[in-house]
Amino acid sequence: MTEITNFRGESTSQDSSDRAEAAVMTLIARVGERVREARQRRGIPRRVLSEMSGVSPRYLAQLEAGEGNISIGLLQRVAIALDHRIEWLVGEDDPWNSDALRVADMYRLANADVQQMVLRALSPEPDEVLRAQRICLVGLRGAGKSTLGAMLGRALGLPFVELNHWIEEQAGMPVSEVMALYGQEGYRKLEAQAVSRVIATHESMVLAVAGGIVAEPETYNTLLSHFHTIWLRATPVEHMERVRAQGDERPMAGNPEAMEQLKSILTSREALYGKALAQLDTSGQPVETSLAQLKRLVEERGFVDMGHSRP
């Protein structure tokens, strides 16, 4: 390193190096503190955040302690899992004291009526125009989105679409391969593009989306603005049993804590799913009963012009 002498005849090269090193350590500590606070605010155990982000629990522990020099790619995964923008974790301004984040937190905690008032105030078009006659079913895997969505579409005479099928068509490969090849970040980009395509090509439809879409703020807000969203709920036990009934043993295979993790995920996403315009609990009910209740809900809330659909 070239040594520079200041006007007092003192060497400044070491000072510059020390300042740079101190700035790096300050950044690492700041990121760790904000990741820990964001995780605690959402009530997400570190183990569950590890599952959601694909970052090991040990790495997350080091990161939160200010000892982990995490890569940008891994930090982006953590930010997505925490429903945060990466710049909130690394910026010099305190995100918890920023107007944008404060408003976002108040919106997240507000009831559905207040949230709709905010959306109407910020929306350039009336809700009725934006949402048209589109219905979107959200909820964790096993809630009945695919089964009830297809049946509701037939009952109303509307096309039924599973968003993952559009993602697979766009990517030219199964979702599992998309995740393996591009990771969660790549999948989320394709997911956002698929939502935009669906909106552009369908004025009337029933859409089923993956359970984790609520963790991507921009994509989820697009859904809330352009669809009549319905949260299909079920108990954790029924979620697990329905997935296993489909022949998928992965949730339980070699994972004795699977049920505890499922409950944690449901708890962490409850506020996000709660942003939907309506909810329907499908627990302990035959499919036919849930379908009748879902159709009645759609009719009573005026989500679809029943005069232009089959009875």
Better-predicted residue by pLDDT, 175 or 231? 231
Q: How many CB atoms lie within 10 A of CB 149?
A: 25
pLDDT of residue 8: 47
For residue 5, give the DSSP letter: B
For residue 227, give the DSSP letter: S
The tokens for 158 are: 């509307």
Q: Which of 212, 224, 204 is nearest to 161 (CA)?
A: 204
Which H or E element spans position 194? Answer: helix 175-201
Residue type, 100: A
pLDDT of residue 7: 43
pLDDT of residue 6: 47
CA 151 distance to own-chain centroid: 26
pLDDT in tens, 8-50: 444 556 677 777 777 778 888 888 888 888 888 878 888 888 8
pLDDT in tens, 125-160: 666 677 889 999 999 888 889 999 999 999 999 999
Tell me which of 123-127, 170-174, 180-184, 190-194 is least confident: 123-127
Domain boundaries defined on the chain: 13-102, 110-308
Strand order in the sheet with 133-138: 160-162, 204-208, 133-138, 228-233, 278-281
Residue 80 has pLDDT above 90, yes or no: no
Sign of the dihedral through C-alpha 235, 160, 195, 226: negative
pLDDT of residue 246: 66
- Max distance between CA atoms of the chain, in angstroms, equals 90
Spatial contact of 106 and 118, defined as CB atoms under 8 Å apart: no
Q: What is the CATH architecture assignment of 13-102? A: Orthogonal Bundle (1.10)
Instruction: Please state which CATH number belongs to domain 110-308.
Output: 3.40.50.300
**What percentage of the chain exceeds 90 in pLDDT?**
30
Tell me which of 181-190, 192-201, 241-250, 286-295 is least confident: 241-250
SS (H, E, C) 71-108: CHHHHHHHHHHCCCCHHHHHCCCCHHHCHHHHHHHHHH
Q: In Å, how far are 183, 188, 234, 306 from 163, measured between CA atoms?
A: 18, 12, 21, 24
Stretch 42-71: mean pLDDT? 83
| Tokens 């790619």 sit on residue | 73
280 in the Ramachandran plot: left (φ > 0), alpha (ψ -120 to 50) or beta?
beta
pLDDT in tens, 202-226: 999 999 999 889 988 899 999 999 9
pTM (two decimals): 0.60
